Chain A
């Protein structure tokens, strides 16, 4: 239907009457034309934008007659969690089961990293380094800090290993399972270059595989090496992007992980190919259930702790994740938004860059007006780490209050007592993925059948 055509009886055709093609949507056409101009895939930050089955597709069954609720404000509902009980001499005791996911200095400004540490410390939880090593700022501000060991090994050294409270071997990330890190030249400042031993201003694309082990048998020896270096004190995590989750979780167990982090396909990233973000991996919802079942199959559920991330936004996502059997969750994007990324305050600047608040995802370009995903000292100066720390604390506090509200309504005196039986699904897809009944039925696809 062409717009200028005029129907003699009804007059000009309204825009709203034009039918957009589902297959050839405006975005699809635009992307084809961009590709035809530039000849290279599009790179961006953030998480998947497509709709995937998520925790919104689950609902809690609050208590009434058949179950007893707990008094909303007065009765106890504990939130603490211990991570790393399997082998580590010094497991981590966290006050809340919401942790801050690994986001690199390089992707984020040192100020933003500092704020994440402050906020997490105030709530008795962990922050995590990232693909760029440990900064002094974040070590100082984080009460408990998880140190990532990634394929790139930028900045890796035994002193920081010993300074860490836990070590996370990153084998994959939900946004790009099978892909390595990427940091474009705009963000390779002097300090970032020095920490990563790279020439300044180059476009850094890091390895997707670890340099000194290949399969799970080698990883087991590698993990023992890290344990030897740190005298068996620290919990060792293994992080995987959610894909073949059952096998990955079981192999991580076999390789000797104390804690397994499973990151769903909608998890955020600082930069990667759009096709990676949107087209690789499985959503967080099925990943939790598969991971828990895989641990149970090995008799390791609750012995090896499970942290889940990818699209965790609020206390209800946390509670649902835990009801499905996770021990804790991690947040990335939610933390960035809490710090002020995509805030209305910078609407004009986002518009100038061809974006808008709520849509900005060009983290790789390092021009973040909020001073968060940048290495530009002028932009970074706009960001106040004290205020950022308070905002992270407030977000975590709100999330935990929400999760407790839901847990008490289900009659649970600890978040860990939430169970799949507290949930129903709104859609057949969610029922199948979470293995909880479709609301109003006692059925989910695949129930009682073997496969």
Chain B
């Protein structure tokens, strides 16, 4: 276990060290202390490493992650694990706006709440939120799965493509072209698997599934937002 104290080292030094990791590196376990809300911690990692950030992280923590298993013990700022490719990024507290934006693979777990626009433009990532999410979540989401154990704000799933959204709590409103879908055994199995992987306790039977009505897929005048 290597310990990096961000009171003593710069984020640049930390990232530079993490970028030098490869399959042959002897050390694969890192503990980052005193993050104090600094931005861009552990971005662009491309290695099977375990990285624990003890405290609060700023914007884009775990951005574009590949393979690594990153945990933030406190809260995280905007753009947590944006464009994640693979691996797992977990936040034990809450996360701010655009969590997992454009993420293409891997798993993001927010044990607390995620703010607005969680999963915006997501392209294949799985996102599990233990608490509630803000407005416009999964906006323009293209692919992947989103699990919301609490409530969702306004315009959930607006303009989504092939994305599945599982919600246990109340939804303030659904966005344009997002509708409730029947949950079949396949979807139930996926939900169960995601809750398991995320180690979040919830009863899959209590969730409802939402997806695209697919009325926006083709450019028809009826799709325009007319007054």
Residue numbers of A with Cβ under 8 A of B are 38-40, 152-153, 156-158, 161, 184-185, 196-199, 202-203, 205, 207, 211-213, 218, 221-222, 224-225, 228-232
Cβ-neighbour of A228 out of B44, B102, B140, B218 (below 8 A): B44
Q: Which of B145-165 contact A (CB under 8 A)?
A: 161-162
Considering the complex, give the chain B residue whose CB is closest to the CB of A156.
Answer: B83
Inter-chain contact A199/B162, CB cutoff 8 Å: yes
Q: Which residue on A lies nearest to B143, using beta carbons?
A: A197
Query: Across the interface, do A185 and B63 meet the contact criterion of CB distance under 8 Å?
Result: no
Cross-chain contact of B221 among A39, A153, A202, A221 (Cβ < 8 A): A39
Interface contact A40-B221, CB-CB below 8 Å: yes
Contact of B98 among A156, A212, A231 (CB under 8 A): A212
Interface majority SS (helix, strand, loop, mixed), chain B: loop
New A-B contacts (14) at CB < 8 Å, excluding given A157-B64, A221-B40, A225-B40: A153-B83, A197-B143, A198-B142, A202-B161, A202-B217, A207-B121, A211-B82, A211-B121, A211-B140, A212-B82, A221-B39, A222-B79, A225-B79, A231-B15
Q: How far is the CA of A296 from the CA of B82 in the complex (A)?
A: 35
Q: Between A and B, how many residue pairs show CB distances below 8 Å?
A: 103
In whole Å, how far is B110's beta carbon from the nearest beta carbon of chain A? 15
Cα-based distance from A230 to B43 in the complex (angstroms): 10
Report if A228-B43 is in contact (Cβ < 8 Å); known contacts: A39-B221, A184-B219.
yes
Chain B 78-121, CB-CB to A under 8 Å as 1, else 0, gives: 11001101000000000000100110100000000000010011
Task: Pull 28 A–B residue pairs with CB atoms less than 8 Å apart, ordered by A.
Answer: A152-B121, A153-B101, A153-B123, A156-B104, A157-B64, A157-B85, A158-B44, A158-B64, A158-B83, A158-B85, A161-B64, A199-B162, A202-B161, A203-B219, A211-B98, A211-B117, A211-B120, A212-B82, A212-B101, A212-B102, A221-B40, A222-B59, A225-B39, A225-B59, A228-B11, A228-B43, A230-B44, A231-B19
Top 9 closest A-B pairs, CB basis?
A229-B44, A203-B219, A212-B79, A212-B101, A158-B64, A153-B102, A202-B217, A197-B123, A211-B101
Chain B residues numbered 202-227 whose CB sits less than 8 Å from any CB in chain A:
217-219, 221, 224
| Chain B residues within 8 Å of A, Cβ to Cβ | 11-12, 15-16, 19, 39-40, 43-44, 46, 58-60, 63-64, 66, 78-79, 82-83, 85, 98, 101-102, 104, 117, 120-121, 123-124, 140, 142-143, 161-162, 217-219, 221, 224
Closest to A197 in B: B123
Is B102 a contact partner of A156 (Cβ separation < 8 A)?
A: yes
One of B39, B58, B64, B101 near A229 (C-beta < 8 A): B64
Which B residues touch A199, using CB under 8 A?
A: 161-162, 217
Asked if residues B64 and A221 are in contact (CB atoms below 8 Å), the reply is no
Collect the chain B residues with CB atoms within 8 Å of residue A196's CB: 142
Measured CA separation A232–B44 after assembly (Å): 12
In whole Å, how far is A116's beta carbon from the nearest beta carbon of chain B?
A: 26
Interchain nearest-CB distance for A320 vs B (Å): 39
Contacts of A156 in B (CB 8 A): 83, 102, 104
A-side contacts of B161, CB under 8 Å: 198-199, 202
Residue of B whose beta carbon sits closest to that of A157: B85
- The answer to whether A207 and B85 touch across the interface, beta carbons within 8 angstroms, is no
| A185 / chain B contacts, CB cutoff of 8 Å | 218-219
CB distance from B84 to the nearest CB of A (A): 10
A211 CB contacts on chain B under 8 angstroms: 82, 98, 101-102, 117, 120-121, 140
